[in-house]
Amino acid sequence: MSEHSQHPMDHFPVRPLRFPLGAGQRVDVVWSRTRPAFSVFLNALAMHVPHFERYLVTSLRKAREQITDPKLRRDVTAIIGQEANHSHNLTAFNQHLRARYPDVVAIDDASIAWFEQHAATDTMKQRIGFTAGYETFTFLAGMIILQHHDRWFADADPMMKALWVWHQVEEIEHGAVAFEVWQHLFGSHEWYRKWMILKAALHIAGETIRLYPRMARHEGWLRSPWQAIKTLAFGGEMLGRLFIAALPVFKRNYHPRRHPIATTEQNPIQIAWRRYEADGGDVLAIDHAKLARMLRIPPQEARTAG
Domain count, the chain: 1
Of the two residues 4 and 164, the one the predictor is more confident about is: 164
Distance CA 273, CA 217 (A): 35
The residue with greater pLDDT, 149 or 45, is 45
Residue 69 CB neighbour total at 10 angstroms: 12
pLDDT of residue 1: 37
Q: Give the pLDDT score at 116.
A: 97
What letter represents residue 181's amino acid? V
Q: Is residue 173 part of a domain?
A: yes
Which of 60, 54, 78, 77 minimizes the C-alpha distance to 173?
Answer: 78
**272 vs 81: which has the higher pLDDT:** 81
pLDDT at 265: 55
* pLDDT the model gives residue 302: 59
**165 in any annotated domain:** yes
Domain annotation covers residue 210: yes
pLDDT of residue 150: 85
Number of alpha helices (DSSP H) and beta strands (DSSP E) in the chain: 12, 0
- First-to-last alpha carbon distance for the chain, in angstroms, is 23
Q: Give 129-138 pLDDT, tens digit per residue.
A: 999 999 999 9
In angstroms, the Cα distances linking 263 to 67, 82, 147, 268, 303 are: 27, 21, 11, 10, 23
The Cβ of residue 111 has, within 10 Å, a number of other Cβ atoms equal to: 22
The reply to whether 46 falls in a domain is: yes
Residue-number span of the structural domain to which 194 is assigned: 30-256
CATH number at residue 158: 1.10.620
Work out the pLDDT band at 9, boundaries 50, 70, 90: confident
Q: Tell me how far apart the alpha carbons of residues 22 and 5 are, in angstroms, rounded to a whole number.
A: 35
| Lowest-confidence region among 16-20, 68-72, 235-239, 301-305 | 301-305
Residue 306 lies in a domain: no
* Chain mean pLDDT for the chain: 91
- Cα distances (Å, whole numbers) of residue 171 to 97, 226, 262: 22, 35, 12
In a domain, 281, yes or no: no
In a domain, 270, yes or no: no
**Predicted local distance difference test score (pLDDT) of residue 58:** 97
In a domain, 175, yes or no: yes
Rounded Cα gap, residues 94 and 87, in angstroms:
10
26-30, 261-265, 282-286, range with the lowest pLDDT: 261-265
Measured between alpha carbons, how far is 165 from 206 in angstroms, rounded to an integer?
25
